[in-house]
Structure 1
Amino acid sequence: MPDNQTARIEWRDGVIPVSTQFDDPYFSNASGLEETRHVFLAGNDLPARLTGGFHVAELGFGTGLNMLALALMWEGPQMIRFTSFEAYPMAPADIATSLDAFPEVKPIAAPFLDAWAQGARSFTVGHVAVEVITGDARETLAAWDGQADAWFLDGFSPQKNPELWGDDMMRAVGAHTGQGGTFATYTAAGHVRRKLADAGFTVTRVAGYGRKRHMSKGTMR
């Protein structure tokens, strides 16, 4: 995956952005925000675990919806951290159009949209300090010196974007997870679950959102 290339998208039904690089939508056809809450927030037992300094990391920033859902959930007053890895950042106008589908997040999205339009990749939304690291995650995650308390594994599907779900990537996720840290992902693909288990997680398959029968979550052993 080349570094720092802008995402190329087309619009499904005028509201759902679809990556033409990976032929995959950025969020659920039904309700992307509710899917985020089910998969990534509840899947990591949030907000119950949140406390000042808690660090969430993510593979696949996309529209920023997961980050905004986290910021909407966390009212502080202490700050938490959010680091996301994205190879193909979306254009500001495309993100703004995408978020029109979610009126609930629009009131808190302005600082993010303003910062993104100015080219900033580090900014604050509510009580969340955000950093988006652009480039090939196979390189940028390996070079990262951070440790996450929870992971949102939200890359495009393993079938469409296998590089982001490879052995080395899942081992890197494990290596950058703190003691007792967790992950959650919409995919229940057996090869992904096995790689995460090999990376040190106790992996569980649980009920997915909507028409997706299963998803995966886990805790670092």
Structure 2
Amino acid sequence: MTGQAELEWRESVPVSTRFDDPYYSLENGLAETRHVFLAGNELPERFADGFHVAELGFGTGLNLLACLQAWRAAGVPGVLQYTTFEAFPMAAADMIRAQAGFPEVAGIAGELAAHWQRGARAFDLHDLRFEMVAGDARETLPRWQGRADAWFLDGFSPAKNPELWEEGVMAQVGAHTAPDGTAATYTAAGFVRRGLEAAGFNVTRLPGYGRKRHMTQARMGSA
């Protein structure tokens, strides 16, 4: 099942009506992204030319903005590769509205807005190669030819969107991870952790962001 995102706004935070789950932390979505996905994957320390981030759940695009901002702040030469898998892409106007809530990344948001407005699924900047793979990740991820150095596992809550966290999807994440690659997610659900372990990752539980006690960090074991 795929299609366009269905959402409502609770003040400045978009909430999926399909999954009854906010797109990011009600406390501070950008701070959550930096804590979970950047620090959880040991970024920007691991960045290098051609570094490939892959993501399950593009949502508002906030993770992309935070990642590209960190890449530029670190002064890494070359190109960041960013591939995201999204079953229900958000309308450009909603994405831009959501991103406007984070003035710290306003410059990058403005730079990318024209691409969202024209419905782009892939584009290149001088320091970014972006691709959105639209559709159910259970179908699209097995066909993907790439391998990620870092995964942002950012689907809606496993309790509300279990299909994106099932063992078969985690196995595909593992199969599409580079040696010594990592994954991070805000959830510490037991079945997600077990799925990552079965996929070949060494899994660690870390302090979560805000009211979430724990999050998950995973590192691909030696081949």
CA contact (8 A) 2:48 2:77 kept: no
Q: 2:91 is aligned with what amino acid?
A: A
Q: Is 1:142 matched up with 2:139?
A: no
CA contact (8 A) 1:108 1:125 kept: no
Cα distance change, pair 125–29 in 1 and its aligned pair in 2 (3 A): farther
Q: Is 1:177 matched up with 2:177?
A: yes
Identity %: 59
Q: 9, 28, 32: which one pairs with 1:31?
A: 28
CA drift at 1:112: 2.0
CA drift at 1:124: 3.5
CA drift at 1:40: 0.1
Deviations 1:110-152 (A, max 9, x none): 2322111111111245622111110111011011000000000
Q: 35, 51, 55: which one pairs with 1:58?
A: 55
1:7 maps to 5
Which of 113-122 and 34-43 deviates more? 113-122
Question: How far apart, in 1, do the equivalents of 2:128 and 2:35 lie?
Answer: 20
2:45 maps to 48
Question: How far apart, in 1, do the equivalents of 2:156 and 2:9 lie?
Answer: 16
**Structure 1 residue ranges without an equivalent (≥5):** none
Give runs of ≥4 in structure 1 deviating > 4 Å: none
Q: 2:29 is aligned with what amino acid?
A: G
1:128 maps to 128
CA drift at 1:77: 2.7
Secondary structure at 2:120's aligned position in 1?
coil
Cα distance change, pair 159–126 in 1 and its aligned pair in 2 (3 A): farther
Secondary structure at 2:113's aligned position in 1?
helix
Instruction: Name the TM-score, length of structure 2 as normaliser.
Output: 0.95
Secondary structure at 1:104's aligned position in 2?
helix
Question: How far apart, in 2, do the equivalents of 1:77 and 1:103 lie?
Answer: 25
Question: How far apart, in 2, do the equivalents of 1:52 and 1:77 lie?
Answer: 6
Over the aligned positions, Cα root-mean-square deviation in angstroms equals 1.0
Deviations 1:143-191 (A, max 9, x none): 1000000000000000010000001100000000010000000000011
Q: Is 1:104 matched up with 2:101?
A: no
